[in-house]
Amino acid sequence: MRILEGKTAIITGTNRGIGRAALEVFARNGADVIAHARAPSSKFEALCRSIGEKYGVKARPLCFDMTDYEAMKAAAKEIMSSKTPVDALINNAGITYNALFQASPLSEVRRQMEVNFFAPFAFTQMIVKLMLRRKGGSIVNISSSAAFDGNEGKSAYGASKAALAAMTKSIAKELGAEGIRANCIAPGITETDMIFSMPEQIVSDVRETTDLRVCAKPSDIAECAAFLASDLASYITGAVIRVDGGL
């Protein structure tokens, strides 16, 4: 069963990590994907082409810097002018930062908010216009367990992801009557570039605090996003779902 058959999804940050996994999971489940990356490259174009051919769907690259509002607006206009129906928006693109509170410069705090909150906020405003025309759609925001757990060294990152979760709950209430759902996923420790840059002992310590004693794979998060984007989740909105192995 391809739970996203006939749907079109926009997924941001598909060049690696959770976004890269989501590109494949959504395509495998029958969705055409508009795959965002920050910068164009022949490698990324080849990836999209390969996944599209593998699953018999369209996987179209769309490249722009999420912090460049004008480039973002141009990309949204391109989608609108193509008259592509958008059924789902997965706000995945983001950055991480680890530093103790007293050692966190305001410039980095602002950068976290710019990429992890302001960018998806603005892009969602643009894409929701397309969903309103069709009276339906699903928005899935990728937050983090750090938004709720108060981890040491993650005051800036956690705050930006908490803002994204709060946005999710508000737009779920505002847009529900228009047939648009909004949900949030809060991953725990996941095998992405973020943990590969951390000391192994820290990763091991966190992993051992989970009930399952393993890190998530990016596909674990992507599968949850696919479910929330599908009609199987048609009565789920305003939810924050922790995919954290029992952290």
Q: Is residue 2 part of a domain?
A: no
The tokens describing 45, both together, are 């174009």
Q: What is the pLDDT of residue 192?
A: 86
| pLDDT band, very low/low/confident/very high, at 206 (cuts 50, 70, 90) | confident
Kindly tell me if the per-residue pLDDT of 230 is higher than 70.
Answer: yes
Q: What is the pLDDT of residue 199?
A: 72
DSSP 151-218: -TTBHHHHHHHHHHHHHHHHHHHHHGGGTEEEEEEEE-SBTTHHHHTS-HHHHHHHHHHSSS-SPBPH
Whether 157 sits among the annotated catalytic residues: the reply is yes
Total number of domains in the chain: 1
Q: Is residue 77 part of a domain?
A: yes
Q: Is residue 246 part of a domain?
A: no
- Angle (nearest 5°) at CA 206 between 204 and 207: 60
Q: What is the mean pLDDT of residues 177-185?
A: 98
What is the 3-state composition of the chain as percent helix, strand, coil, each rounded to the nearest 5?
Answer: 50, 15, 30
Residue 140 bridge partners (DSSP) = 90, 183
Q: Is residue 117 part of a domain?
A: yes
Kindly tell me if the per-residue pLDDT of 58 is higher than 80.
Answer: yes
Q: Is residue 247 part of a domain?
A: no
- Give the residue numbers spanning the domain of 25: 8-240
Q: What is the mean pLDDT of residues 119-125?
A: 98
Q: What is the pLDDT of residue 207?
A: 87
Task: Work out whether strand 8-11 and strand 240-243 pair parallel, antiparallel, or are unpaired.
Answer: unpaired
Task: Work out whether strand 88-91 and strand 8-11 pair parallel, antiparallel, or are unpaired.
Answer: parallel
Kindly tell me if the per-residue pLDDT of 233 is higher than 70.
Answer: yes
Whether the pTM exceeds 0.85: the reply is yes
219 vs 152 pLDDT, higher one: 219
Q: Is residue 13 part of a domain?
A: yes
Identified catalytic residue from 55, 69, 97, 157 = 157
Kindly tell me if the per-residue pLDDT of 32 is higher than 70.
Answer: yes
Q: Is residue 245 part of a domain?
A: no
- What digits encode the pLDDT tens for the residues 70-118? 999 999 999 999 999 999 999 999 999 989 999 999 999 999 999 999 9
CATH of the domain at 36: 3.40.50.720
Kindly tell me if the per-residue pLDDT of 61 is higher than 90.
Answer: yes
Q: Is residue 221 part of a domain?
A: yes
Q: What is the pLDDT of residue 196?
A: 65
The tokens describing 47, both together, are 């990836």
- What digits encode the pLDDT tens for the residues 133-176? 999 999 999 999 999 999 889 999 999 999 999 999 999 999 99
